[in-house]
Amino acid sequence: MRATWDVFCNVIDNYGDIGVAWRLARDLARQPDLEVRLWVDDLEAFRRIWPSIDADRAEQSEAGVAVRAWRTPFDDTAAADVVIEAFGCALPETYLRAMSARASAPVWINLEYLTAESWADAHHGLPSPHPSLPLIKHFFFPGYTEATGGLLIESDLAERRRRFLADGVADFWCRLDVAAPEAGELRVSLFAYENAALPAILDAWAGDAAPVSCLVPEGRVVPQLAAWLGAAGLRVGETHQRGALRLRVLPFLSQDDYDRLLWACAVNFVRGEDSCVRAQLAAKPLVWQAYPQTEGAHGQKVAALLARYGEGLDAASSRAIGGLWRHWNGIPEALEVPSCWRAFRLHHETMTRHADAWASRLSGQGRLTEKLLEFVEKRIK
């Protein structure tokens, strides 16, 4: 019999919640004998990362996943064998009651935010009994070590990337209406929150000795780019040249096209969690802006990932990447942005080799979907 899985996603802000929930639901649906439903409370946000979603439909099917609008009040629904609550979104009361009414309780999992911090090892898998219902929730922590739940890496990802790089890049640029890189050009993708270090990095790119082209999917950073350009606004498709820098605003891409953009660029500036992982898997040097948190808590996340990512890198390259990451996250850094960028540029080749080795290492460390299936297998009654 096919096991049923329900994944619940409450979109709080940005695209990370739906981005991860959708990636997971799609990957689960590719496994044999699983029936997957994804409940989403903001289909408009979902449509942005997956344009074939119809934001007005309560029920639809996409990539083998039954997509359901999560509405309040929540209609009575039979609970699934496995229930995934993405990022602590509180499940509807009616659904909790349906879970406890089952002859055998579902395996209930709270999929947590990714962090490279070491405490994730000890917290992964911990149970938390419901205060009044006969249900136990388990905390599932993605992470970078074997003791965690691993990372969302589809089993065919490396092969898809390889095929794209072998014969798909030219078509991709054509489809985006972007010229292929010229000789010596450094192509950068930029996905960021508002960022105090942005004007300095744009200045550094404009003053670079070689052409830098920066591709920016439409989003929160665009008003800041417009201000730097001295323009009233910036629309999708506009291109601006300042010194060595050519800036181009792209439409917000589908999740799969965004992966392709990361594969095709030489450096990727990413933010939050999902794009950060995808940039690591793209095997190219990356600059990460963590989701800003109060009291600088994101600084620890940045330091933790830098420490892991930097393992095996020579001191100079490690210094170069660390300097830029710190500026990009508002963490004190002795070197100025232009020096950090020059160092980053100088060590780009070494960092690219390192990024390739890092991506292979991540793939060998345990995939989240497989670990989740194992975790559930041990608990299912």
CB 197 within 8 A of CB 328: yes
Strand extents, DSSP E, the chain? 3-9, 34-40, 59-62, 65-69, 82-86, 107-111, 127-129, 136-140, 186-190, 212-217, 239-242, 245-250, 267-271, 286-289
| Residue from the set 12, 169, 227, 229 that interacts with ligand TRH by CB under 6 A | 12
Q: Which tokens belong to 242?
A: 């300042």
**Residue nearest ligand TRH by beta-carbon distance:** 16
| Residue from the set 68, 246, 271, 301 that interacts with ligand TRH by CB under 6 A | 271
Q: HSE-up of 257 (CA within 13 Å, CB side)?
A: 16
**Active-site entry in 27, 257, 273, 274:** 273
| Residue from the set 125, 211, 272, 310 that interacts with ligand TRH by CB under 6 A | 272
Q: How far is the CB of 271 from ligand TRH (least distance, A)?
A: 5
Number of residues that bind ligand TRH (CB under 6 A): 22
Which residues share a beta bridge with 286? Answer: 268
Q: With respect to ligand TRH, which residue has the nearer C-beta, 13 or 295?
A: 13
Asked whether position 300 contacts ligand TRH by CB under 6 A, the answer is no
Is 361 exposed, middle or buried (CB count within 10 Å of its CB: 0-12, 13-18, 19+)? middle
Q: With respect to ligand TRH, which residue has the nearer C-beta, 81 or 259?
A: 259
Q: What is the DSSP letter of 151?
A: B
Q: Which stretch binds ligand TRH (CB under 6 A): 99-107, 147-155, 221-229, 271-279?
A: 271-279
Q: With respect to ligand TRH, which residue has the nearer C-beta, 255 or 317?
A: 255
Alpha helix stretches (DSSP H) within 34-168: 43-49, 93-101, 119-123, 157-167
Asked whether position 289 contacts ligand TRH by CB under 6 A, the answer is no
The binding track of 133-172 with respect to ligand TRH, each residue x by CB under 6 A or -, is ----------------------------------------
Q: Which stretch binds ligand TRH (CB under 6 A): 96-104, 247-255, 308-316, 364-372?
A: 247-255
Asked whether position 263 contacts ligand TRH by CB under 6 A, the answer is no
Q: With respect to ligand TRH, which residue has the nearer C-beta, 80 or 359?
A: 359
The binding track of 323-362 with respect to ligand TRH, each residue x by CB under 6 A or -, is ----------------------------------------
Q: Which tokens belong to 208?
A: 């670079």
Distance of CA 60 to the CA centre of its chain: 24
Asked whether position 19 contacts ligand TRH by CB under 6 A, the answer is yes
**In this structure, how many other beta carbons lie within 10 angstroms of the beta carbon of residue 222?**
18
**Active-site entry in 17, 41, 85, 333:** 17
Q: With respect to ligand TRH, which residue has the nearer C-beta, 15 or 309?
A: 15
Asked whether position 33 contacts ligand TRH by CB under 6 A, the answer is no
Q: Which residue in 204, 195, 114, 108 sits closest to 153, CA to CA?
A: 114
The binding track of 67-106 with respect to ligand TRH, each residue x by CB under 6 A or -, is ----------------------------------------
Q: What angle do CA 229, 231, 234 make, to 5 degrees?
A: 95
| Residue from the set 3, 7, 8, 15 that interacts with ligand TRH by CB under 6 A | 15
Q: How far apart are CA 288 and CA 165, in angstroms?
A: 23
**What DSSP line would sit under 4-65, residue for residue?**
EEEEEE---STTHHHHHHHHHHHHHHTSTTEEEEEEES-HHHHHHHSTT--TT-SEEEETTE
Q: With respect to ligand TRH, which residue has the nearer C-beta, 9 or 96?
A: 9
Q: With respect to ligand TRH, which residue has the nearer C-beta, 240 or 298?
A: 298
The helix/strand/coil state of 67 is strand
Asked whether position 63 contacts ligand TRH by CB under 6 A, the answer is no
Q: How far apart are CA 32 and CA 259, in angstroms?
A: 25
Bond from prior residue into 73 cis (ω within 30 degrees of 0): yes
In the residue annotation, 17 being an active-site residue is answered as yes
The contact set with ligand TRH (CB under 6 A) reads 12-17, 19, 49, 113, 191, 217, 252-255, 258, 271-275, 291
- Which residues are tagged catalytic? 17, 273
